[in-house]
């Protein structure tokens, strides 16, 4: 695959590609450090059949949208080759989250080429910059909860993403219900989970805290999607960007071992969270736990059910 990819990349960039070296790129993609003939390096993600068709285009659009406020750096999109799925997504809410349509057997390589970032160690100053930058990013806002597209790709799944009138209804109908149905169908949730979810959703308008306007959120902000460069600056990568609640990104950042507490303190200094935010962290972590239950099975479903019991 490397020769066709190198040729397609060279055509898109208008510069010859001297070599492609494999680098870590996640479960769904192959990733390469492309060294160009002039010595410059480019990060390239590609997938013949594992990532959803259109996922690279959605990532590129998300990166551009997050870059607009200039709150935190994101890698520049240098080239993109990602034809849309054969059938357009429905305009109405789609059915429960299902594996997205994979790319057809088109021999033309699909790829996303991004500016190369030399990674370095995280630092307390970088954690503080991340917190302050997230506060500025969220403050840039979004037109609505959800959008801009009516579906959102996260990993191999598509989720409904059409705008909703308020955060509680968006979180219930566009995240919790579709993910829980899919996880239950897979057998990753215990029998009690659907009833617990119904009770939680009935309480969600009260549990969600004071109303807030839509924030511009990264949408999948676990610690692996924050890249620190050699100067200690944090960069945002691999977004699932949409209009959401600002506490969502912060909760996700805590889920799998994130930055130091200085990040969250710096955020609160710039944009204090509403009362009760600490009690809502696990509530906003419920959607990613259900997503992991869909993808990886019942151990994650058990963790999600513990959260359901807490809030139901």
Least confident of 57-61, 151-155, 194-198, 258-262: 151-155
**Catalytic residue check, 27:** no
Is the confidence at residue 92, as pLDDT, over 60? no
| 85 pLDDT more than 80 | no
> How far apart are alpha carbons 249 and 138 in whole angstroms?
9
Which pLDDT belongs to residue 83? 77
Reference 311, options 172, 213, 166; nearest CA is 172
Write down the catalytic residue from 30, 150, 220, 249.
220
Q: What is the pLDDT of residues 16-66, one digit of tens each?
A: 999 999 998 666 788 999 999 999 999 999 986 666 678 899 999 999 999
Which domains does the chain carry? 2-115 (3.30.200.20), 124-311 (3.90.1200.10)
pLDDT at 103: 45
Mean pLDDT of all residues in 278-289 = 98
Q: Does the predicted TM-score (pTM) go above 0.75? A: yes
**For every residue of the chain, which 3-state class applies, written as one string?**
CHHHHHHHHHHHHCCCEEEEEEECCCCCCEEEEEEECCCCEEEEEECCCCCECCHHHHHHHHHHHHHCCCCCCCCCEEEEECCCCCCCCCCCCCCCCEECCECCCCCCCCEEEEECCCECCCCHHHHHHHHHHHHHHHHCCCCCEECCCCEEEECCEEEECCCECCHHHHHHHHHHHHHHHHHHHHCCCCCCHHHHHHHHHHHHHHHCCCCCCCEEECCCCCHHHEEEECCCCEEECCCCCEEECHHHHHHHHHHCCCCCHHHHHHHHHHCCCCCCHHHHHHHHHHHHHHHHHHHHCHHHHHHHHHHHHHHC
What pLDDT does 54 receive? 82
pLDDT tens digit sequence for 170-189 = 999 999 999 999 999 999 99
């Amino acid at each position: 695959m490397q020769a066709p990819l190198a040729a397609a990349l060279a055509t898109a960039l208008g510069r010859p590609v001297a070599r492609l070296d494999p680098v870590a790129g996640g479960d769904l993609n192959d990733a390469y450090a492309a060294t160009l003939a002039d010595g410059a390096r480019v990060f390239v993600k590609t997938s013949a059949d594992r990532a959803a068709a259109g996922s690279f285009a959605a990532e590129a659009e998300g990166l551009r949208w997050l870059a607009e406020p200039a709150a935190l750096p994101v890698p520049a999109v240098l080239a993109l080759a990602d034809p849309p799925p054969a059938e357009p997504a429905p305009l109405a809410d789609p059915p429960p989250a299902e594996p997205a349509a994979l790319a057809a057997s088109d021999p033309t390589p699909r790829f996303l080429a991004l500016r190369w970032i030399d990674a370095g160690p995280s630092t307390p100053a970088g954690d503080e910059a991340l917190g302050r930058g997230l506060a500025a990013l969220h403050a840039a806002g979004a037109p609505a909860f959800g959008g801009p597209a009516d579906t959102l790709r996260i990993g191999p799944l598509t989720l409904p993403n059409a705008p909703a009138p308020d955060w509680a209804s968006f979180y219930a109908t566009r995240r919790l219900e579709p993910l829980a149905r899919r996880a239950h169908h897979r057998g990753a949730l215990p029998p009690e989970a659907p009833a617990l979810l119904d009770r939680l959703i009935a309480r969600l308008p009260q549990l969600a805290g004071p109303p807030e306007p839509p924030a511009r959120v990264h949408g999948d902000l676990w610690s692996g999607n924050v890249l620190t460069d050699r100067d200690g600056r944090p960069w945002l990568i691999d977004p699932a960007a949409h209009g959401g609640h600002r506490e969502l990104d912060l909760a996700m950042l805590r889920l799998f071992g994130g930055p130091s507490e200085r990040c969250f303190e710096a955020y609160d200094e710039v944009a204090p969270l509403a009362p009760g935010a600490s009690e809502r962290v696990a509530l906003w972590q419920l959607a990613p736990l259900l997503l992991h239950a869909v993808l990886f099975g019942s151990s994650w479903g058990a963790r999600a059910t513990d959260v359901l019991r807490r809030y139901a």
